[in-house]
Amino acid sequence: MAGSRHEEAAAPRVGVLALQGDFREHLAVLTALGAVAVPVRRPDELAAVSGLVIPGGESTVMDKLSRTFGMAEPLRAAVDAGLPVYGTCAGLIMLADRVVDGPASQHLTGQRTIGGLDVAVRRNAFGGQNESFETDLLVPVVGVPPVHAVFIRAPVVAEVGPLATAIGVLDDGRVVAVEQGNLLGTSFHPEVTGELRFHARFLDKARAWSSR
């Protein structure tokens, strides 16, 4: 038993929600950082990990699939229990408590988020695919050099509640990275640029969770 706990602390078993989106890229980054990274599509797979990444993709589709696969309530319960979760782009939307510009058909589809992050997000705040851009971003909690951030149909954090902390802000003041306890969210995609520090920070939280 002691040996298995030591192995978990050294190489935590973490998951990437693999219902939709760029989950393969996250699996590759986490594996490169020494984690045991597995795709998660079912509640029993979620119960077997010490942390979860929710990837970029399409948040409305991700929401529908999470309910179809019986994952919505287990995901909410895991967040409520304190499981470390890192959401990028659509994953940030899924973690947000509030979405200020849901789709026009939201009242028909009943789109919901997992919640947990005390923020409000605005979907596709930077425009469509053609408005994707890159910039260097100072994020003091991950140190230097600046983060080279890629924004692809990205959301923005429109409001930061008292429980959350803005950790990454563009020159114009828009918040694009937040943290709240075991939850971490970025509007951008570190997994596509070779930026490892956010995943490493997430893994630190997963190690602490597994050894609690």
Mean pLDDT in residue range 179-198: 96
Q: Judge whether residue 143 has pLDDT over 80.
A: yes
Q: Between these two residues, 128 and 146, which has the higher pLDDT value?
A: 146
Structure tokens at 132: 């994707």
Q: Which CATH code for domain 2-210?
A: 3.40.50.880
DSSP annotation of 69 reads T
For the chain, give every domain's residue range: 2-210
What's the pLDDT tens digit per position in 92-118? 999 999 998 755 434 334 457 899 999
Structure tokens at 126: 């930077």
What's the pLDDT tens digit per position in 70-84? 999 999 999 999 999
Alpha helices in the chain (DSSP H): 2-10, 23-32, 43-46, 59-68, 72-81, 90-95, 106-109, 197-210
What's the half-sphere exposure (Cβ side, CA atoms, 13 Å) at 117? 33
Query: Measured between alpha carbons, how far is 183 from 178 in angstroms, rounded to an integer?
Result: 8
Active site residues: 89, 189, 191
Do the Cβ atoms of 86 and 167 come closer than 8 Å?
no
Q: Judge whether residue 127 has pLDDT over 70.
A: no
